[in-house]
Amino acid sequence: MAGEVGEVLITERQIRAKVRSLARRISKDYEGKELWLITILKGGVFFVTDLARALTVPVALDFLGISSYGPDSRGGEVRFTKDLDTSIRGRDVLIVEDIVDTGLTLGYIYRNLLNREPASLRICVFLDRPYRRIVEIPIHYRGFELPDQFVVGYGLDWHQRYRNLPYVALLNEE
């Protein structure tokens, strides 16, 4: 049935292991620094809270709210509905996002944040479909590559549902 959760692609256990290994790499790369984690509401919230707890460097959190429009409602034009609370000028900033597909959303955000003159700016995405890219963006840390099928869970929604599933699963769109 349409909207029904299907096969589990990434289990809770696989998510935990991946978050730990990403956090190890990031903690090493930013040793001696304070890391500014910027997350896009709402999907990235689940990933960033897990990641932040696994990091060993000091972190600060801030959030961006966006709404995106596009021909297939998967992104395209981006409008900020919530800006960052504080300036990131001179900070070491890591954008933490749940998924990158065409790169339109993240590309827009990356350019926007770069203009605010952080000391450094990198991107960490949990899920990626690199073969769908329209806008090239530098991804420094990546969790899993996904097939070209709609997924839900671990932050990803279908009409605001299923974000809280502790795993990533296919969604029946028929």
Active-site residue list: 101
Q: How far apart are CA 129 and CA 146, in angstroms?
A: 5
Among the listed residues 92, 75, 173, the one whose alpha carbon sits nearest the alpha carbon of residue 132: 75
> Min. distance of Cβ 73 from ligand IMP in angstroms?
8
In terms of DSSP H, where are the helices of the chain? 12-29, 44-54, 104-114
Which C-beta is closer to ligand IMP: that of 29 or that of 157?
Answer: 157
From 3-11, 13-21, 53-61, 67-75, span contacting ligand IMP (CB under 6 A): 67-75
Residue 153 as a binder of ligand IMP (CB under 6 A): the answer is: no
Span 85-124, contacts to ligand IMP by CB under 6 A: 99-106
- Options 13-21, 27-35, 52-60, 147-155: segment touching ligand IMP (CB under 6 A): 147-155
Angstrom distance (rounded) from CA 125 to CA 160: 20
CB of 27 to ligand IMP, least distance (A): 25
Q: Which residue has tokens 């034009």? A: 77
Question: How far apart are CB 162 and ligand IMP at their closest, in Å?
Answer: 9
Q: Which is it for the CA torsion 134, 83, 80, 143, positive or negative?
A: positive
Residue 33's closest CA among 118, 140, 126? Answer: 118
Q: Which stretch binds ligand IMP (CB under 6 A): 12-20, 47-55, 112-120, 148-156?
A: 148-156
Contacts of residue 67, Cβ cutoff 8 Å, sequence gap at least 6: 78, 79, 81
Applying CB under 6 A, the residues found at the interface with ligand IMP are 43, 68, 74-75, 99-106, 150-152, 156
